Amino acid sequence: VAVKSDGTVVAWGDNGLGQLGDGTSWQRLSPVAVQGIAGVVSVAAGIDYTVALKSDGTLMAWGWNSFGQLGNANGPYSLSPVVVAGLTEVVAIAVGYYHTVALKTDGTVMAWGHNTYGQLGDGTMDDRSSPVAVTGLNSVVAVTAGYGHTESIKADGTVVAWGNNT
């Protein structure tokens, strides 16, 4: 998946669960336009789903949604982008295997999706289909995510991590 200089998005490859966002589930061997999305500044691809950060600080997501990783309860998958409900002022995104993380302008972090290992940082192991605040975390300047874990870097340079520690 790639962001073009005009803020549109193209994607290619496997598309069995709509992760290319072109309105189909057909595999694509060359880039196709993601439908109904513009003003994108960054994208992140998880396992069978994609998330885009728009210049206005909102997010859109598409593809597989079995754990709520699209940030909505619109069924098991979406073939085209849908808005991540109730989330604004986002400056950075990261995706793990099946969870999504957003850094907000105020230095707080929101997360949603798969949570078997506590990778959402909300003090539970419950999957979430809408963004929840990472508990007790502020002054964050960067986020990243992996299979079942999430990390952040705070303004003072410290690193905070949570989730699977295998």
**pTM of the predicted protein model:** 0.96
Taken as a whole, the chain contains a residue count of: 166
Residue 124: per-residue pLDDT: 97
Sheet holding 49-54, edge to edge: 40-45, 49-54, 59-64, 77-83
**If pLDDT is split at 50, 70 and 90, which confidence band does 28 have?**
very high
Q: What is the DSSP letter of 18?
A: S
Residue 73: per-residue pLDDT: 74
Strand partners of residue 52: 43, 60
Contact 52, 9 (CB under 8 A): yes
Q: What is the DSSP letter of 105?
A: T
What percentage of the chain exceeds 90 in pLDDT? 96
Residue 75: per-residue pLDDT: 83
Q: Please, what is the average pLDDT of the chain?
A: 96
Radius of gyration of the chain (CA): 15
Residue 8: per-residue pLDDT: 98
Query: If we measure between CA atoms, which residue out of 48, 56, 159 comes closest to residue 99?
Result: 48
Over residues 20-28, mean pLDDT: 96
Which residues, in sequence order, are CB contacts of 88 under 8 Å at separation 6+? 56, 57, 58
Residue 74: per-residue pLDDT: 75
Over residues 57-68, mean pLDDT: 96
CA distance 124 to 133: 12
Structure tokens at 22: 């072109």
